[in-house]
């Protein structure tokens, strides 16, 4: 999945913190974006809106927290008084309770609050961010940047997971599990070893297990990390296994993970690299699927290389582009019939050394069958866009590293994917600037739809901007939610748009 981006973001944070580039203006942007989709098992179940209503006194504001259901009907609304430096990071629903993660910049603390479906508070906990890197993660977000992967995760009906950094460490992960009333049930930490920089992000969840991807580094700016798969019991956090994400021949990265309860097997799916290669810098060799037993031992593996299996399926007219450009993969989706889809976007380094850019090109979807054999390569053309790389960031390395940087700053057109409840249909959304001949350019939301008939179709919605800002959010399957902010009126309008297919 997109897990690797968090690691990249962590690295960029370090750079950003050194550069001291935070600004008040960006924070305002984040405040405005303190609205988002409430996700449960990958499906939008509603939306939260958190905004500053007024000054309570010199140090505090009155904030309003409003929750709507997936059809934008207000469920409830409450007013809470908190410091002026308070931000909502994430809102989630686990089927029983809502969980909200707040960040107080001044106090350098997190507050986790659980509410029932009437917005009655069930419990809360405050955590001081003593670790500089842990604090940096949230400051990165407060500067208006995307958190590329969630740190606050709903565990269906049981509670919430919080991924962070251990206080008493240089930069080792901390995974905490809170129940529905925000009482901490368990916590696990990165081991005390030579890898002082170990970050973890969620990999998968099943009824019994929680899988995390752990990236090990010996130094903050070590750009050749090792990846591990860590699996623990949901009930008590007890480790089932922790194994390197590799086979006898290859390293695996950007992996999508799943657990088959019937077969008692774990599956990793993602790009693979030669063992001596650097997965953050070198191009991958192709895609691999690896099946592990309950001890983390490799049972089987299957590869599809760029040069053979994948190249054979690239449409003739796109072969040249495939050779010239690289692909950054944003998401992986498995449909009900077992087919796997890797969703990516082409890019290429451009500009001059002084004005470095990352040019963003077409959307690419690789389709594998249930046995992970290469089935098809789909290319969806769109207008080229570009992302200007700040001078300092240009020093961090080749185009692959820059692609992660651009991703962290929202430089790619890809927005999000949505999968229907029956897993037969999915929609890939991207925002692009379209220029039609003789017409003024306009932003468009492009939706690539994989239909129940197993064909692709593309729908486009003009993002006509009436307000001063607009945002596109995930919505219930088949829809997108568009929110517009009217600065003069201090009003936010939200609407659901149905996607045509």
Partner 1 sequence: MKLRHTPPLSHRRRRTFFVAHSLLIILILLTAPLCGFAQFTTNYQALPIEDTIPPTYLSALNTRLSGAQAAISESNKAVIASIRKYLQNRTDYVISRFNDDYIISDPTLTSSLQRLLKDIYDANPQFKPETHVFVYRSEAVNAVSFGEGTIALTLGLLARMETEGQIAFVLCHELAHYHYKHSDNKIVALSKLYNDKEFKKEVRSIKRSDYEQITKFSKLAKSLELSITHHGREHEFEADSLALRMYRNLTSDVHSPIRTLEILDSADRDEFPNNLDLKTALHTDAYPFKDQWLAYTPSSTWHATSEDNDSTRTHPSCQRRIKALQRQMKSLPACINNKFNADARNTLREHCRFEQVASLVHYKRYGRALFESLKLAARYPDNAYVHAIIGQCLYQHYAHQQNHELGKVLSLPDPRFAENYDRFLTFMHNLRLSELASLSYHYMASRKDRYISNEEFLFGWWMASQTGVGNVASDEIKKAYIKTFPHGKYIKKFNK
Binding residues for partner 1, per CB under 8 A? 38, 40, 45-46, 53-57, 62, 67, 69-73, 75-76, 93, 95, 117-118, 461-462, 495-498, 500-501
Distance CA 323, CA 354 (A): 26
DSSP label at residue 324: H
Tokens linked to 115: 């509410």
Q: Which is nearer to partner 1, 55 or 192 (CB)?
A: 55
> Which of 492, 474, 398, 491 has the alpha carbon at shortest distance from 483?
492
The CB-side HSE value for 112 (13 A sphere, CA atoms) comes to 25
We find the least distance from the C-beta atom of residue 432 to partner 1, in angstroms, to be: 16
In the complex with partner 1, which residue's Cβ is closer, 313 or 442? 442
User: Counting Cβ atoms within 10 Å, is residue 219 exposed (0-12), middle (13-18) or buried (19+)?
Assistant: exposed
Biggest CA–CA distance in the chain, Å, is: 66
421: tokens are 């409840």
Minimum CB distance to partner 1, residue 69 (Å): 4
d(CA 335, CA 35): 29
Q: How far apart are CA 341 and CA 363, in angstroms?
A: 12
Closest to partner 1 by CB, 101 vs 480, is 480
Taking the complex as a whole, how short is the minimal distance between the CB of residue 78 and partner 1, in angstroms? 12
Place of tokens 């409830």: 76
Closer Cβ to partner 1, 67 or 448, answer by number:
67
- CB nearer to partner 1: pick between 231 and 463: 463
82 versus 330: smaller Cβ distance to partner 1: 82
3-state secondary structure of 136: helix
Nearest approach in angstroms of CB 52 to partner 1 is 10
Contact 410, 388 (CB under 8 A): no
CB of 462 to partner 1, least distance (A): 8
DSSP state of 263: T
CB of 158 to partner 1, least distance (A): 16
Q: How far is the CB of 45 from partner 1 (least distance, A)?
A: 5
Cβ 288 to partner 1 shortest distance, Å: 36
The closest of 493, 427, 489 to 464, measured between CA atoms, is 493
Of 345, 372, 376, nearest in space to 455 by CA = 376
Q: Which residue is associated with the tokens 């240089």?
A: 170
Structure tokens at 246: 């590799």
The dihedral region occupied by 166, where left means phi > 0, alpha psi between -120 and 50, and beta the remainder, is: beta
Smaller CB distance to partner 1: residue 10 or 431?
431
Identity of the residue, 119 or 298, whose beta carbon is nearer to partner 1 in the bound complex = 119
């Amino acid at each position: 999945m997109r897990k690797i981006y968090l690691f990249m973001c962590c690295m960029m944070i370090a750079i950003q913190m050194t550069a001291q580039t935070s600004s008040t203006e960006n924070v305002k942007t984040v405040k405005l974006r303190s609205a988002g989709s409430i996700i449960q098992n990958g499906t939008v179940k509603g939306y939260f809106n958190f905004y500053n209503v007024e000054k309570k006194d010199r140090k505090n504001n009155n904030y309003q927290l409003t929750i709507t259901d997936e059809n934008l009907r207000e469920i409830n609304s409450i007013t809470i008084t908190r410091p002026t430096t308070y931000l909502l990071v994430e809102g989630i629903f686990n089927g029983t309770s809502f969980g909200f993660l707040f960040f107080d910049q001044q106090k350098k603390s997190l507050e986790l609050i659980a509410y029932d479906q009437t917005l009655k508070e069930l419990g809360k906990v405050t955590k001081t961010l003593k670790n500089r890197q842990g604090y940096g993660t949230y400051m990165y977000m407060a500067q208006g940047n995307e958190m590329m992967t969630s740190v606050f995760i709903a565990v269906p009906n049981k509670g919430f997971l919080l991924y962070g950094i251990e206080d008493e460490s240089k930069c080792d992960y901390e995974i905490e599990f809170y129940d529905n009333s925000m009482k901490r049930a368990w916590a696990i930490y990165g081991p005390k070893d030579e890898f002082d920089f170990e970050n973890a992000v969620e990999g998968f969840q099943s009824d019994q297990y929680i899988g995390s991807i752990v990236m090990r580094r010996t130094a903050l700016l070590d750009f050749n990390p090792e990846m591990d798969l860590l699996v623990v019991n949901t009930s008590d956090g007890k480790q089932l296994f922790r194994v390197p994400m590799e086979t006898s021949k290859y390293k695996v990265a950007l992996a999508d993970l799943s657990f088959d309860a019937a077969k008692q097997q774990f599956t990793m799916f993602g790009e693979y690299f030669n063992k001596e290669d650097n997965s953050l810098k070198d191009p991958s060799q192709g895609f691999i699927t690896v099946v592990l037993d309950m001890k983390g031992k490799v049972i089987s593996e299957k590869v599809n290389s760029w040069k053979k299996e994948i190249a054979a399926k690239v449409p003739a007219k796109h072969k040249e582009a495939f050779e010239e450009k690289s692909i950054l993969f944003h998401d992986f989706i498995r449909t009900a019939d077992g087919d796997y889809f890797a969703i990516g976007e082409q890019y290429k380094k451009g500009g001059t050394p002084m004005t470095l850019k990352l040019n963003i090109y077409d959307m690419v979807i690789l389709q594998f069958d249930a046995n992970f054999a290469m089935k098809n390569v789909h290319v969806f053309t769109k207008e080229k866009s570009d992302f200007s790389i700040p001078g300092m960031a240009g020093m961090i390395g080749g185009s692959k590293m820059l692609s992660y940087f651009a991703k962290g700053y929202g430089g790619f057109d890809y927005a999000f994917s949505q999968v229907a409840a029956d897993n037969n249909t999915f929609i890939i959304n991207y925002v692009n600037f379209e220029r039609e001949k003789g017409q003024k350019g306009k932003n468009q939301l492009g939706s690539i739809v994989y239909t129940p008939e197993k064909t692709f179709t593309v729908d486009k919605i003009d993002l006509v901007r009436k307000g001063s800002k607009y945002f596109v959010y995930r919505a219930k399957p088949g829809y997108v939610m568009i929110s517009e902010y009217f600065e003069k009126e201090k009003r936010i309008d939200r609407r659901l748009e149905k996607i045509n297919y």
